[in-house]
Amino acid sequence: MHTPPLVYRDTTWRRFGEEIFDICVIGGGINGAAVARDATLRGLTVALLESRDFASGTSSRSSKLVHGGVRYLQQGDVALVLESCRERDLLRTRVAPHLVRGQRFVFPIYEDDSVAVWQLRVGLTVYDLLAGFRNVEPHRHLTVAKVREHEPALAVEGLCGGALYFDCWTDDARLTLETVLAARSLGAAVLNHAEVTALEKDAGGRLAAAQVRDMLTGATTLVRARAFVNVAGPWLDHVRRLDDPGAPPRLRLTKGVHAIFDRSRIGNRDAIVIRGLDGRVMFAIPWQSQTLVGTTDTFYSGDPAEVRADGDDVDYLLGAVNRAFPAAGVTARDIISTYAGLRPLVAPEDERSASDVSREDQIFESPAGLISLGGGKLTTHRHVAELLVDRVAAGLGRKTGRCRTAEVPLPGAVGIEAGSSMEAEPETREEHLRSRYGALATEVAGLVRGDENLAERAVADLPDLLAEVVHAVDFEMAATLEDVLARRTHIGLRSRERGGAVLRAAGELLGARLGWDAAQMESEIARYRDLLRLDGAAVMSRS
């Protein structure tokens, strides 16, 4: 949908003040996006509000995996594995095959691991059986020699064997964004940088409206709705307290940190299951020419907006990499970037380690009618949204259409077949655009045809184009440099030039479309530089 960005914000803002919506969804992560898409497909009217940017929290800071839940087998949660395998298959084959792609994993076993080779073999056999015909491919047993053949850079000492199995990789931020765009194309009123500052109730004590502030202009309005769904992730308890200031906390946040390296420094060919020095299972995942390593799992009690990697996180990740790949010898200087996200887990009754806190979702409703989601996983977002919309529809007391999100593909998925993750950087512009946008690549290509200058790369070390900066504003509601560089493109995570000339070039393109004057553009560039400094502080402290 190509509506000039300022016109779209103005039009949506007017809708907020004029309409009474069936559902007001608070939170623009993957779960909020999925609720908005599901509800609009059923014929409900929807307002979707996000205080920062879509996917700016947990939904862009995952391990980029859509997985069947091998780890859940160790916990005996067969139902969750079945659900995860079903949802993974739907995303990979029907809903988002352009974004969710098969990925090979090597799982090596060493003498000091808590799992023996035979246990791994049995576990993956059960995993394949539970997945049924939904597996990308069945697992294969690997002898020591086969592990070394597949991954020659892996540590050899104590190696007992292993297995090759399959899960899926995704671009988590784009999966979220395209789900939002799908809801918007169906009529939902969606807006980022729109913060809910208060909730208002009617004479009967039921929620009736949300006070909303435009974070870009300071304007305020009232969004009225018949139902309110709180899918704010790590900010869930904050939104609950807008409804009930005395509401006890329901979340126990845990922090997950990842680091990105050049793959040539690590040496992995496929995704590898590795372990931290404390035995925690982690991954080294190929991201074209780079390797994504993570994740950590520690309790976090600070402001969700301030979560970042610290020096201990960096040391932990470096230790895990050098243990798994002894020849790598990586140091903090080899880290291209880090990012940290929060898991909005439901608080346990007892204080266990962060890794032991349940990953199960929970839906709970306040006396005033605020429906809240605790937990939530990238893999199962579609089904969780179905349950939430079912609950809203029942509360509205009227018949709605059936859930169709398992059948209707995302816009970029039309005509795209299931495939595997790319093993190298795209060689052509067309290949790059197709891999990121799927069927929507024609939108970016159209911008290039209109202005050949937009065919230039935004940075020398990545295939991202200047046209994608324009596309992010014109088609995808990006409103800040961070929106473009951290989520619409991969420049903020993967480029070593992300703080250089690209800020000026991107700032000028954004400013021309968003009506920035010179002072506002300089302020935006300075703000993004500050973010880069904060995100890189832990790495610099260990360099």
Cis peptide before 338 (omega within 30 of 0): no
Tokens of 343: 């898991």
Backbone angles phi, psi at 122, to 5 degrees: -65, -45
Share of residues in the chain with pLDDT > 90 (%): 82
Whether the CB-CB separation of 197 and 211 falls below 8 Å is answered with yes
329-332: long-range pairs with CB below 8 Å, 24+: 330/261, 330/265, 330/266, 331/542, 331/543, 332/539, 332/540, 332/542, 332/543
Comparing CA positions, the residue from 87, 95, 67, 272 lying closest to residue 168 is 67
**pLDDT given at position 543:** 76
pLDDT beyond 90 at 358: no
0.85 cut: is pTM over it?
Answer: yes
**pLDDT given at position 449:** 95
Comparing CA positions, the residue from 341, 320, 313, 172 lying closest to residue 255 is 341
307: DSSP letter: -
Question: What mean pLDDT is predicted for residues 526-534?
Answer: 95
CA distances in angstroms from 531 to 130, 205, 334, 486, 528, listed in the order given: 44, 41, 20, 11, 5
**Band of the pLDDT at 420, cuts 50, 70, 90?**
confident
Angle between helix 501-514 and 466-476 (nearest 10): 30
Count CA atoms closer than 13 A to 476's CA, side-chain side. Answer: 31
Q: How far apart are CA 518 and CA 164, in angstroms?
A: 54
Q: How far apart are CA 171 and CA 91, in angstroms?
A: 12
Bridge partner residues of 250 (DSSP):
none
Place of tokens 């808590």: 114
Spelled out in words, what is the top-level CATH class assigned to the domain 96-170+252-354? alpha beta
pLDDT beyond 90 at 393: yes
CA distances in angstroms from 501 to 465, 482, 504, 540, listed in the order given: 14, 15, 5, 21
**Band of the pLDDT at 343, cuts 50, 70, 90?**
very high
| pLDDT tens per residue, range 18-51 | 999 999 999 999 999 999 999 999 999 999 999 9
**pLDDT given at position 138:** 85
Residues of the chain with CATH 3.30.9.10: 96-170+252-354
Lowest mean pLDDT among 72-86, 106-120, 499-513: 72-86
Q: How far apart are CA 523 and CA 71, in angstroms?
A: 45
Question: What mean pLDDT is predicted for residues 96-112?
Answer: 95
Comparing CA positions, the residue from 216, 218, 288 lying closest to residue 473 is 216
**Band of the pLDDT at 111, cuts 50, 70, 90?**
very high
**pLDDT given at position 193:** 98
Question: What mean pLDDT is predicted for residues 188-209?
Answer: 98
Place of tokens 């002894």: 326
**pLDDT given at position 456:** 96
CATH topology of domain 425-541: Helicase, Ruva Protein; domain 3 (1.10.8)
Q: How far apart are CA 441 and CA 427, in angstroms?
A: 16
Comparing CA positions, the residue from 529, 495, 537 lying closest to residue 307 is 537
pLDDT beyond 60 at 517: yes
**pLDDT given at position 361:** 84
Looking at 2.60.260.20, 1.10.1240.10, 3.50.50.60, 3.30.360.10, the CATH number of the domain 5-58+173-249+358-396 comes to 3.50.50.60
**pLDDT given at position 277:** 87
**pLDDT given at position 20:** 98
pLDDT beyond 60 at 320: yes
**Band of the pLDDT at 75, cuts 50, 70, 90?**
low
- Within its chain, how far is the Cα of 9 from the centroid? 24
**pLDDT given at position 347:** 82
pLDDT beyond 60 at 90: yes
pLDDT beyond 70 at 349: no
Q: How far apart are CA 180 and CA 30, in angstroms?
A: 8
**Band of the pLDDT at 443, cuts 50, 70, 90?**
very high
Tokens of 62: 């995952």
Backbone angles phi, psi at 416, to 5 degrees: -100, 135
| pLDDT tens per residue, range 273-309 | 999 988 889 999 999 999 999 999 999 999 999 999 9
pLDDT beyond 70 at 350: no
Q: How far apart are the first and last CA of the chain?
A: 45
Comparing CA positions, the residue from 422, 376, 385 lying closest to residue 99 is 422
Average pLDDT value for the chain = 93
**pLDDT given at position 322:** 97
394 exposed, middle or buried (CB, 10 Å; 0-12, 13-18, 19+)? exposed
| pLDDT tens per residue, range 236-279 | 999 999 999 999 999 999 999 999 999 999 999 999 999 998 88
Whether the CB-CB separation of 236 and 363 falls below 8 Å is answered with no
**Band of the pLDDT at 355, cuts 50, 70, 90?**
low
| pLDDT tens per residue, range 473-495 | 999 999 999 999 999 999 999 99
Residues of the chain with CATH 3.50.50.60: 5-58+173-249+358-396
pLDDT beyond 70 at 127: yes
Question: What mean pLDDT is predicted for residues 203-218?
Answer: 97
**pLDDT given at position 194:** 98
- Report which secondary-structure segment, H or E, holds 371: strand 370-374
